[in-house]
Each structure stands twice: as C-alpha cells, then as structure tokens.
Amino acid sequence: MKASAPDANQSGPQPGTIDPADPSLLIVDDDGPFLRRLARAMETRGFTVEIAETVSEGIAKARSAPPKYAVVDLRLTDGNGLDVIEAIRQQREDTHIIMLTGYGNIATAVTAVKLGAVDYLAKPADADDIYAALTRAPGERAEVPENPMSADRVRWEHIQRVYEMCERNVSETARRLNMHRRTLQRILAKRAPK
C-alpha cells in the first residue's frame, strides 16, 4: 500500500521540529533576564511561550494549561524544579521536558529523568541547544561535547550566576549558596577554572 503525504496531526512532530498542533512551551527559571531572552528566542522558533519565575507559579501554570514542551531550572528561589516536572507529569504524559541546571549532579539527573525529563542541560545552555533538546526524537541522545566543562568550572559558573543575580552583593550571595563569606570571597578572587 502506497503511503499518502504525511499529515502533521497524524504522526506528531518530525524530529527537529515542534508540534504544529500544540507549540505550547512553559519555561520556569528564576534568572529573569535569561528567562525573558530564552522566551523571546523560543517564540521566534515557533513556540507559544508561558513563563514562570518560581516553583509555585510553574506548578500553577502547569495545572491550568499543561504544556507540550517545558524547560525547567533545577534550583529556584522558592524550591526545586523537580516539583514542577512532577506537576506537569500529573497533568500530561507527553510533555517534552528539559531540566536546566548549573550543577553537574548525576543523582539529580537520574531523578529528573525518572520523573519524566527527556534531557538534562548544564547552564549556560543557549537557545539552539535547548531547541535541539526539545525537538529531539524520543530515545535520541545529544552528542557528548568534545571538551565538556569540568566540575570545578560548572561550580564556578553557578557561583558567578548567583553573584550577578544578587547584584554582586557578597553577603547575599554567600547566604544563598549556603557558603561562608570568606570562602566565597576567595573563590571570586580566583580566575575561572578550565
């Protein structure tokens, strides 16, 4: 039997493209400037974007309008992004979820995947990486980077991000990172690890 032209609604989205029948995307991240930049970048790629900056806001949006796609930061000011993933999965089984984090934590990656995340990207991830992960075929894995960041570099990047979020306030940054102020000052005085 000869196949007729594929209907986008019959077989779902093709790998590398978003689902034209449901381009809804929820982005949950407490880094406001990054969140808005990513939202604009994803809108230009065809998504209909909703944003949330907290766990509670992310859960509320996931319950009111479960998205087809989601990008969720692991660490949020009011809790853990895994709670948002769980809320999405309670509402919808077919959501493509990407977990973002500044931490290279294997245990958390395993938990995120068990809860239903389809991929796990270390920050800073750019819009192209996130789009590729969101539109990847089920079971397809991203290529391992030739020169992955070291654990020290991932930690340093996260500390820098929190430092900038705290408007370069050392005391507030140390409090948020649960770190002694002097230890943080020593880390900030050093060059970035390779």
Cα(135)–Cα(161) distance, rounded to whole angstroms? 27
pLDDT given for residue 144 in this prediction = 46
Q: What is the pLDDT of residues 63-101, one digit of tens each?
A: 999 999 999 998 888 888 889 999 999 999 899 999 887
Cα(34)–Cα(127) distance, rounded to whole angstroms? 10
pLDDT given for residue 155 in this prediction = 74
CB 92 within 8 A of CB 111: no
Q: HSE on the CB side for 112, CA within 13 Å?
A: 28
Q: Give the residue with greater pLDDT, 166 vs 35.
A: 35
Cα(181)–Cα(187) distance, rounded to whole angstroms? 10
Q: Give the residue with greater pLDDT, 180 vs 163.
A: 180
8, pLDDT greater than 50: no
Query: What residue segments make up the domains of the chain, in order of their start?
Result: 21-134, 151-189
Calculate the CA 47 to chain-centre distance. 15
Q: How confident is the model at residue 51 (pLDDT cuts 50, 70, 90)?
A: very high
Q: Does this model's pTM top 0.75? A: no
Spatial CA neighbour of 177 closest among 95, 91, 75, 90: 75
Cα(128)–Cα(90) distance, rounded to whole angstroms? 28
The two tokens of residue 135 are: 């539109």
Q: Which CATH class for the 21-134 domain? A: alpha beta
Spatial CA neighbour of 85 closest among 47, 51, 111: 111
Q: Which CATH class for the 151-189 domain? A: mainly alpha
Kindly state the percentage of the chain with pLDDT values over 70.
Answer: 73
Q: How confident is the model at residue 120 (pLDDT cuts 50, 70, 90)?
A: confident
Q: How confident is the model at residue 119 (pLDDT cuts 50, 70, 90)?
A: confident
Measured between its terminal Cα atoms, the distance across the chain in Å is: 57
Q: What is the pLDDT of residues 135-162, one digit of tens each?
A: 886 555 545 445 555 667 667 777 877 8
The two tokens of residue 158 are: 């996260």
Return the minimum-mean-pLDDT range out of 55-64, 90-99, 123-132. Answer: 123-132
